[in-house]
A = this chain, B = another copy of it.
Amino acid sequence: MKIYNEHITLQTEKVREFVDITPRVKSAIEKSGFVDGIVLVAVLHSNAAIIVNDSEPGLLEDVQTWLDSLAPVRDDYKHSKKLESNASIHMQTLLLNQQAVVGFTERRLELGPWQFIQFVELDGTRPKRVLVKVMGE
């Protein structure tokens, strides 16, 4: 088994944004030349997340509203007195996830028709790094 690494840098225009990075993950698998394996997609920050889910724009708006209802911005967090991301952002990344592992077989990503690998920016406008590590043969 072999390994092929890429680091993607993403910089969104909005503070909150979902970016479909499925094409970039596919491209990394192609460049690896591997036929079968897994790809680890991991965000290297604690104020952004990776999800595998539908990317329909109405749904993404719903998900944003819902994340804010479950982990709202508040002034009385112990963490919020710092010059860092509000604690609510960290909670939202815990609800979602820092990484996804996706399989590929016969050079094709193992995703259903309504599944997209998405970078979820929760505290954006600065550049963020995502690791794409392809392991296969």
- A binding-site residues for B, Cβ under 8 Å: 1-3, 5, 36-38, 40, 42-46, 51-54, 56-59, 61-63, 66, 70-71, 77-79, 81-82, 84, 87, 90-91, 93-103, 105, 110-112, 114-115, 129, 131, 133, 135-137
Q: Is the CB of A5 within 8 A of B91?
A: no
Bound complex: CA of A3 vs CA of B57, how far in Å?
Answer: 36
Q: Is the CB of B79 within 8 A of A103?
A: no
Bound complex: CA of A22 vs CA of B115, how far in Å?
Answer: 24
Q: Is the CB of B131 within 8 A of A5?
A: no
**Given A36-B3, A42-B110, A44-B110: A77 touches B58 (CB 8 Å cut-off):** yes
A53 to chain B, nearest CB (A): 5
Bound complex: CA of A135 vs CA of B53, how far in Å?
Answer: 24
Residue from B3, B57, B99, B115 in contact with A52 in the complex, judged by beta carbons closer than 8 Å: B99
> Nearest residue in B to A115 (C-beta to C-beta)?
B46
**Given A66-B91, A78-B58: A1 touches B137 (CB 8 Å cut-off):** yes
